[in-house]
Amino acid sequence: MSHVFPRHCHTQPPVAVAGDGCFLIDASGKRYFDGSGGAAVSCLGHSNDRVTQAIKDQLDAVAFAHTGFFTSEPAEQLADLLIKHAPGDLDRVYFVSGGSEAVEAAIKLARQFHIENGQPERRHLIARRQSYHGNTLGALAAGGNAWRRQQFAPLLVDVSHIAPCYEYAERRADESQFDYGQRVAQELEEEILRLGPETVMAFMAEPVVGATLGAVPAVEGYFKRIREICDTYGVLLILDEVMCGMGRTGHLFACDADGVAPDILCIAKGLGAGYQPIGAMLCSDHIYGAVERGSGFFQHGHTYVGHPVAAAAGLAVMQELLDRDLPSRAHQLGQHLESRLHAMFGQNPHVGDIRGRGMFRGIEFVQDRDSKTPFDPKLGIAAKLKKAAFAEGLICYPMPGTRDGRVGDHVMLAPPFVATEDELDAALDSLQRAINQVL
């Protein structure tokens, strides 16, 4: 009997014993194509020599040096590289161990920024429904997924949630894409005015929504309007690119496609590419400057902040992404993926929507295509698809529909950028067999 506390108590997962390119191999020798990179993590696949060598070299040099006493070469170099390519005036990098920690740090820094600026009354965070920002209590409070929040609601701080930008389900037939985006962005201004602008601290959103909607980008103009509204009221814009950043959408940073730069940016998954747990919060010059000129101390920190081995892995990942121009490859392969998805599933009566950018794609399944009626969540369509695909040797990321019927069951694909077109085609054949079995 296993003593590991598993994600699902009633299933015993196979033991992963090896990684080979885009494949994971279990103890019986079965190979699985990592079609979702776990959860949009493994952008370089599972056997990148440059990254593993960098980790070994750093272990031989120094495994750990607490940031209360030291900085480290890989952390300094990785921060330089991130800032060189980061949007807007992002200027400082705070390293953490994962996505939720990056989000927690962002929320606390936003609060401290306003205090340093003499506006301690700014305390309200606004985020969006159908969003996911992590599972620690602050990040969970920011997230707008009812199911994940439900049983912990008494422990969560109050966060306002406005509409997501979810064109497939929410755009009215008489509305252009652009008008729809402006309408939902306007909800931010209304909420700021309702709360009182002088009390609002920040707005947080994922440029491409991952774990709750399945790779949903915003429509053109939405984020530009959001940026304008934030600027008008002195509200910080926090973009959470934990899932969609680091090249996944075909741009190094997902917000590049939307033509906006945040005040604070959170990244994680693709930063360590699964080789080490690492995340980061990047903040703009004026935010860091306020802390530097003010108290001179960010009231935050974990033991493993800036871990040298994690930073060495992140640095090697970043060098791989840049030297091999992998964001462009993610864009090109993403176009192949998109056209194959449409060709294979576009006419399927139970496929309502195929969406996403780059190597970040989602398929939403519906009972009725014309009315966009989702399946009854009790049928567990997404979970069944995950199981059937896994049996076929394909890892894809399932998400159940919501009980209010606004979002249907969907699966997300986020393969490594180093996959070949043939590997992607074979993976889609496996997905087709899984869909045929379930629907």
- Within residues 188-207, the interface with ligand PLP by CB under 6 A covers 206
Q: What distance, in Å, lies between the first and last C-alpha atoms of the chain?
A: 35
Contact by Cβ (8 Å): 247, 270: yes
Q: How far apart are CA 383 and CA 320, in angstroms?
A: 34
Contact by Cβ (8 Å): 280, 81: no
Q: Which is nearer to ligand PLP, 211 or 337 (CB)?
A: 211
Binding status of residue 263 toward ligand PLP by CB under 6 A: no
Task: List residues bridging with 109 in a β-sheet.
Answer: none
Give the chain's count of helices (H) and strands (E).
15, 17
CB 210, min distance to ligand PLP, A: 4
Give the per-residue contact string, 46-85, with ligand PLP (x = CB under 6 A; - = no). Answer: ----------------------------------------
CB 15, min distance to ligand PLP, A: 22
CB 422, min distance to ligand PLP, A: 29
Binding status of residue 272 toward ligand PLP by CB under 6 A: no
CB 143, min distance to ligand PLP, A: 8
Q: Which is nearer to ligand PLP, 240 or 392 (CB)?
A: 240
Q: Which is nearer to ligand PLP, 135 or 437 (CB)?
A: 135
Structure tokens at 302: 């974990």
Structure tokens at 253: 């940073």
Distance, C-alpha 296 to centroid of its chain: 31
**The one segment of 128-136, 247-255, 369-377, 380-388 that binds ligand PLP by CB under 6 A:** 128-136
Q: Which is nearer to ligand PLP, 266 or 428 (CB)?
A: 266
- According to CB under 6 A, which one of 37, 74, 87, 98 is a site residue for ligand PLP? 98
Q: DSSP 3-state assignment of 69?
A: coil
Binding status of residue 355 toward ligand PLP by CB under 6 A: no
Q: Which is nearer to ligand PLP, 103 or 235 (CB)?
A: 103
Contact by Cβ (8 Å): 261, 273: no
Binding status of residue 417 toward ligand PLP by CB under 6 A: no
Contact by Cβ (8 Å): 357, 334: yes
Binding status of residue 39 toward ligand PLP by CB under 6 A: yes
Query: Would you give the DSSP letter of residue 394?
Result: B
Give the CA distances from residue 403 to residues 136, 335, 350, in Å, rounded to whole numbers and listed in that order: 23, 32, 18
CB 277, min distance to ligand PLP, A: 8
Q: DSSP 3-state assignment of 229?
A: helix
β-strand pairing of 351-357 with 360-368 = antiparallel
- Within residues 327-346, the interface with ligand PLP by CB under 6 A covers none
- Residues at the contact surface with ligand PLP, assessed by CB under 6 A: 39, 98-100, 103, 132-134, 206, 210-211, 240, 242-243, 268
